[in-house]
Structure 1
């Protein structure tokens, strides 16, 4: 299992679909944490001069070095087959691992992995909006009206206090020169509530603090006129998520966010992955989830320039749009974008997961098939199964198992390493 942009949770060593596959094939399991994330601290701090050692190429090389040395340490035979698993960015790494190190990796299950680097990922919120719309058009109409009401209230100093109270803001709204960035951050934070709910809708995450908050829950609240006018319902949803995540108030101040992400110490709260992932998006991938394509729904307050400014404000003036353009171009040349030429890889995506837009969802190559699961969310096939899982999700898990079996069947005396 390939670790991604966070701590390697020990739960993955005892539960999840890959463990079920391992039991069936008699496999040994290893879970490798990504350098610079979680407890993996390869440098004294997270200064920019040290973060140059944080990138996907280095992560893949770490995996190769690990596999090669485990083969020696365990005295594995030449018949040993390594299968790599990963979800989200880890899913990207799984596919790229098979491309870059085919002599070490026999097969890869790439789940919800974005393979196309893209600066302005405006399609993300299109998928979010469509998922909400599929459940209820009135739900989407209410969000649009709530954002319109929010915009009106924000224009008047007298009514800004109402917003502070409704949304439990941690700080009063600053009418000074940073107000525009604060407001952009507020809009993006509120939009992210919907993004998170859609992306992880009913995915069976046992550790999720918002496990029981689904598209249905949120939309039922948004159309309930007894709660109040649309902006009151938007605030209700926001506060419900604050409670679920045990947050006392809504942090929206831009300068505070930047100050936290500038902190280079390992003891900082962001050190588990926030600063590091921001660095990778600014230097390799982009992936900025903008409001560009949905200005009438989530406002036009967080376009791509809002995120590019974060790169320069956090890491320095060198990390600008020119560097981003060249970095994204390089990444797509390096790995092939959506034009991968590879075998023994399966690409798995869910239709309501916005990240599927940057992944392979259809394939004419039987040696690198795509499984597109209608109605499921981000990495849903990786989590522990449930009797309430959709039939198509259950079917996908079986398809993946059969593919792994096919990859392994021609081997003699296999010691499969998952």
Structure 2
């Protein structure tokens, strides 16, 4: 396919280095799997080949997930840091329907146009792009390693499973491939979030558990609403039940995010936060609190989460899951179609209000929003869930601080589908830029990744030599 290129040199500052890349665009079909629609559009990808051995150096390929690709390029320092050692080209590909890779521009997320957003379509985009980078030859000369974190980690693994002739191996960090219906308890995520806070201080998780009723109580009178709005510094006052539900969902998402990005260093990955953010916020909830004192404690937690960089005059809780740096508006549609990951809480084994998993209600809400019904078994049947014994050359890494570990592969499935469990690590910390505060298990995990990458590249080159001789 003809490539449309628009180059911009960008420098991203990290803890240690600046990451420089060219921004390019590649034309892909709107629909890879049907023949009735012939439209095309451009997906964005970022490239750095400063260290690349153009003779036979590998391509390190990041399978972009739900958000603008620049954010993942900035925070996937592991790829950048090992590129010189492996003499690799670095490519970060943006997922269709995110960032600038919109097939219908501003109308892309409308009901009428969003139907071509799926993991399978995105993987086909990536396969086409790599075929282009290989020169559209029958026998590729460059070994390609897929990298990804979170949903991107799932995609990296799925890429290797579905296109083993395109990528020779995958580093799949914090990939919850076991989170589909019937595969993991619906309450495991919220229990692990709670554990992050409870481990710091049991009073912290207890206070959060008690806070839901306190917040609801404040909304019962106009005077209480005024206190709530002021204490939490809300941009929009809570005026009705809908506003209250939105606020509660925002707070739930806040605690989940704090647990996910509970890194040992300050980070602006999803939002600007201090080092050890769970420990920081728990200092305001480290004794038994009630009533207004508890509400003020929650207000301080909210302030850390929303305004650590002192750039936000108030809390825009109506942004919900979209709060922060990641523009992931399309994910809700994916969760309403193929990426069905049941979540529930009981208020006993976790610090949240009781919320049972109700697939019927969930499905009807999806139909109301998008005119579609979820297919709860689709991803498991498409990609295998955790029955991946027939796969090869995949490393699944999971940190025990990360609540998504509850849906991760924690035991090696074969000699070539390996699990790396990282003590004291949050969400795909092993892929982030190295930092003096990194715990030793993270450093060990990165070395294990390098060992696998070396073996995969050597296998590819041996096979290439054998093919040439024959």
Give the TM-score band, short-chain normalised.
0.7 to 0.9
Residue 249 of structure 1 aligns with which residue? 314
Note the alpha carbon deviations across 1:258-282, whole angstroms, 9 max, x for none: 9xx9xxxxxxx99984431111111
Q: Secondary structure at the residue paired with 1:377?
A: coil
Deviation of 1:405 after TM superposition, in Å, equals 1.0
1:378-414 Cα distance to aligned partner (Å, 9 max, x none): 0100111112111111100001111111212244489
Change (3 A) 1:302 1:80: same
Number of equivalences: 392
Matches within 5 A, 1:110-149: 110-118=172-180, 121-149=186-214
* Equivalent residue number for residue 284 of structure 2: 221
Residues 221-243 of structure 1 deviation map (CA, whole Å, 9 limit, x = unaligned): 21168997222101111123222
**8 Å contact from structure 1 (residues 37, 272) kept in 2:** no
CA distance in 2, matches of 1:335, 1:11: 24
3-state SS of 2:263 partner: coil
1:43 to 104, 113, 124: 104
1:378 and 2:441 are equivalent in the alignment: no
Say if 1:378 and 1:13 are closer, same or farther in 2 by CA, change over 3 A: closer
Q: TM-score, normalised by structure 1?
A: 0.84
SS of residue in 2 equivalent to 1:108: strand
Structure 1 residues 270 and 373, CA gap change in structure 2 (3 angstroms): closer
The normalised TM-score by structure 2 is 0.75
Distance change (3 Å), C-alpha of 1:14 and 1:236: closer
Larger displacement relative to structure 2 (370-379 or 194-203) = 194-203
Please name the residue that 2:64 is paired with. 3
Show CA shifts across 1:188-239 (max 9, x none): 2112222111100116575444231511101112116899722210111112
1:30 paired residue number: 91
Alignment of 1:18 with 2:83, yes or no, is: no
The alpha-carbon distance between structure 1 residues 257 and 127, as it changes in their structure 2 partners (threshold 3 A), is closer
Residue 147 of structure 1 deviates from its aligned partner by: 2.5
Is 2:331 the partner of 1:277? yes
Q: Is the 8 A contact 1:111 1:349 kept in 2?
A: yes
> Which residue is 1:166 aligned to?
231
Contact 2:173–2:398 (Cα < 8 Å) also in 1: yes
Asked whether the 8 Å contact 1:3–1:33 carries over to 2, the reply is: yes
Contact 2:179-2:342 within 8 A present in 1 as well:
no
Structure 1 residues 205 and 304, CA, compared in 2 at 3 Å: closer, same or farther? farther
Q: CA 1:356–1:19 in structure 2 vs 1: closer, same or farther (change >3 Å)?
A: same
Residues 360, 102 of structure 1: alpha-carbon distance in 2 compared, 3 angstrom cutoff = same
TM-fit CA distance, 1:110: 0.5
Q: Is the CA contact 2:96–2:122 (under 8 Å) kept in the aligned structure 1?
A: yes
State how 1:277-356 maps to structure 2 within 5 Å: 277-287=331-341, 289-292=343-346, 297-300=351-354, 310-315=365-370, 318-319=371-372, 323-324=373-374, 327-340=375-388, 341-356=390-405
Corresponding residue number in structure 1 for 2:126: 63
Kept in 2, the 8 Å contact 1:203–1:380? The answer is: no
Helix, strand or coil at the partner of 2:135: helix
In structure 2, runs of 5+ residues without a counterpart are 1-61, 465-470
- The structural deviation recorded for 1:140 is 1.3
Between 1 and 2, higher relative CO (CA 8 Å, sep ≥ 6) is seen in 1
Equivalence for 1:392: 441
- SS in structure 2 of the partner of residue 29 of structure 1: strand
Q: How does 1:172-183 map to 2 (within 5 A)?
A: 172-175=237-240, 179=241, 181-183=242-244
- Does the aligned pair in 1 maintain the 2:272–2:305 contact within 8 Å? yes
Q: SS at 1:196's partner residue? A: helix
* 1:126–1:293 contact (8 Å) kept in structure 2: no
Residue in 1 aligned with 2:31? Answer: none
**C-alpha separation between the residues in 1 aligned to 2:301 and 2:364?**
29
Structure number having the greater helix percentage: 1
Pair 1:96-2:158 in alignment:
yes
Larger relative strand fraction: 2
Tell me, yes or no, if the aligned pair for 2:430 and 2:446 is still in contact at 8 Å.
yes
Structure 1 residues 414 and 389 mapped into 2: Cα distance closer, same or farther (>3 Å)? farther
The reply to whether residue 188 of structure 1 matches residue 261 of structure 2 is no
Deviation, structure 1 residue 374: 1.2
Is the partner of 1:30 in helix, strand or coil? strand
Tell me: CA distance 1:12–1:96, structure 2 relative to 1, closer, same or farther (3 Å). same
* Counterpart secondary structure, 1:218: helix
Given the alignment of the two structures, is residue 197 of structure 1 paired with residue 258 of structure 2, yes or no? yes
Query: What secondary structure sits across from 1:404 in the alignment?
Result: helix
How far apart in 2 are the matches of 1:42 and 1:408?
A: 35
SS at match of 2:298: helix
**8 Å Cα contact 2:266/2:274 also seen in 1:** no
Are 1:109 and 2:171 an aligned pair? Answer: yes
Contact 2:265–2:437 at 8 Å: present in 1 too?
no
Contact 1:373 1:396 in 2 (8 A): yes
Distance 1:299 1:240, change over 3 A: same
CA deviation after TM superposition for structure 1 residue 303, in Å: 5.9
